[in-house]
Amino acid sequence: MLARLPRRLPIQAFQARRPLSTTLQRKSDALFVHRDTPYNNPKIAFEFDAETMKRANEIISHYPPQYKKAAVIPLLDLGQRQNKGWTSISVMNYVAKLLEMPPMRVYEVATFYTMFNREPIGTNFVQVCTTTPCMLRGSTDILNTTLQHLGGIKPGQTTKDGKFTVVEVECQGACSNAPMIVVGDDYYEDLTPETTRKILDAFAKGEKPKPGPQSGRFTSENSAGLTTLTTKPYGPGEFCLPEFS
């Protein structure tokens, strides 16, 4: 079994070595304690705009009136979207006020979930998956390519022009299309260093490349072409869904 592995793995997986720790040394207090800064302090006003408010009310209406607090995660997400992709202390305070919760209960949620960015991010938020399946398929290269292509930043940093923020993330659930990155809300899969650069260039120009596998295959179909179900399925006929009929 092990002997067969190298044949199946792309050779890059063994060329690109990662040091023990490539991530920034995180000091936990930098992450989980709020410090007032000019760009992030409770005095900066924040409010949902009309459209967000409509959606927020819709979400809140899903829950019993005394359990409005159940809407805290979707509302924080709405706030983050409205607030240029990051959840400032004002967003949290506003959500707390809206849901009649003690603010600390909102802080607890916002600090628990890593997808709430509590520091400002660039226009394009690039999340590179480096979990095992992606790593085996060469995500280390993808990460290094991304970082170098964006001017040699480190994971967790934003480019000087403020266009990109790159972070390493854990499994995004697209393992069959590894390696992959997420830009904004879209998955870019089946990457090679070239396609990665292309995607980043497109974003740098303000364009939006087509999400999905970049190798040209359809979703997660076999990249070497279909081996089964190649013929038209027999029966049962007219009651099948249209694509099977």
Partner 1 sequence: MSILQAWRQAATSSVGPIRGSYTAFDRGLTTKSTSNSPKELSDIAAPAQPTRDVMVADVISGAPSQLRHRAVRVYQPTRNTMQCGQAKGDRWRIDFDILQGGGRWENPLMGWASSADYMQGTRMSFRSKEDAIHFAEKQGWDYYVQQSTVKRIPPKNYAENYLYRPGTLRIMKTK
Partner 2 sequence: MLRIVSTVSRPSSTGRLGKVVGSQHSRRTFASTSAKQADITLTVDGKEVTVPQGSALIQACEAAGATIPRFCYHERLAIAGNCRMCLVEVERSPKPVASCAMPAMPGSKVWTNTPLVHEAREGVMEFLLANHPLDCPVCDQAGECDLQDQAMRYGSDRTRFHEITGKRAVENKDLGPLVKTSMNRCIQCTRCVRFANEVAGVEELGTTGRGNDLQIGMYVEKTMDSELSGNVVDLCPVGALTSKPYAFQARPWELKNTESIDVMDALGSNIRVDSRGVQVMRIQPRTNDDVNEEWISDKTRFAYDGLRFQRLTTPLVKEGDRFVSASWEDALAAIAKGLTASGAQGDEIQAISGHLADTEAMVALKDLVNRLGSDNLALDQVGGTAPPVHGVDVRSNYLFNSTIPGVEEADAILLIGTNPRHEAAVLNSRIRKSWLHTGLEVGLIGERIDTTYGYDYLGGDANALSEFMTGKSEFAKKFKAAKKPLIIVGSAVAEHPDAAATYNALSRYVELNKSTLVTPEWNGFSILQRVASRPAAYEIGFVPSKKASTTKPKFVYLLNADEVDPKSIPQDAFVVYQGHHGDLGAQLADVCLPAAAYTEKSTTWVNTEGRSQLGRSAVPPPGASREDWKIIRALSEVVGSPLPYEDVLEIRDRMWEISPTLVRYDVTEPTSAEVALAGLKALSVRTTGAKISGAIFQKPITNFYQTDPISRASVTMAQCTRSFVKGENYGFSDIGKAPEAAFA
Extract the annotated binding site for [2Fe-2S] cluster: 129, 134, 171, 175
Contact (Cβ atoms closer than 8 angstroms) between residue 109 and residue 72: yes
| Binding region for partner 2 (CB under 8 A) out of 25-33, 164-172, 183-191, 199-207 | 25-33
Dihedral sign (CA 48, 52, 58, 60)? negative
From partner 1, partner 2, none, interface partner of 67 (C-beta below 5 to 8 A by class):
partner 1
CB of 34 to partner 2, least distance (A): 5
Count H helices, E strands: the chain?
Answer: 10, 5
CB of 172 to partner 2, least distance (A): 19
Residues 202-241 that bind partner 2 (CB under 8 A): none
**Residue 38 or 65 having the CB closest to partner 1:** 65
Which residue in the set 4, 7, 8, 27 belongs to the binding site for partner 2 (CB under 8 A)?
Answer: 27
**Residue 107 or 164 having the CB closest to partner 1:** 107
167 forms part of the interface with partner 2 (CB under 8 A): no
Which residues, other chains included, contact 101 with Cβ-Cβ below 8 Å and sequence gap of 6+?
68, 69, 72, 95
24 forms part of the interface with partner 2 (CB under 8 A): no
**Residue 11 or 20 having the CB closest to partner 2:** 20
From partner 2, partner 1, none, interface partner of 69 (C-beta below 5 to 8 A by class):
partner 1
43 forms part of the interface with partner 2 (CB under 8 A): no
Which residue in the set 62, 84, 97, 108 belongs to the binding site for partner 2 (CB under 8 A)?
Answer: 108
Which residues, other chains included, contact 226 with Cβ-Cβ below 8 Å and sequence gap of 6+?
none
Q: Which residues bind partner 1 (CB under 8 A)?
A: 66-67, 69, 101-102, 104-105, 108
Please state, in angstroms and rounded to a whole number, the distance separating the CA atoms of residues 208 and 187: 12
Please state, in angstroms and rounded to a whole number, the distance separating the CA atoms of residues 79 and 89: 11
Please state, in angstroms and rounded to a whole number, the distance separating the CA atoms of residues 142 and 144: 6
Please state, in angstroms and rounded to a whole number, the distance separating the CA atoms of residues 193 and 150: 13
**Residue 131 in tokens:** 């979990």
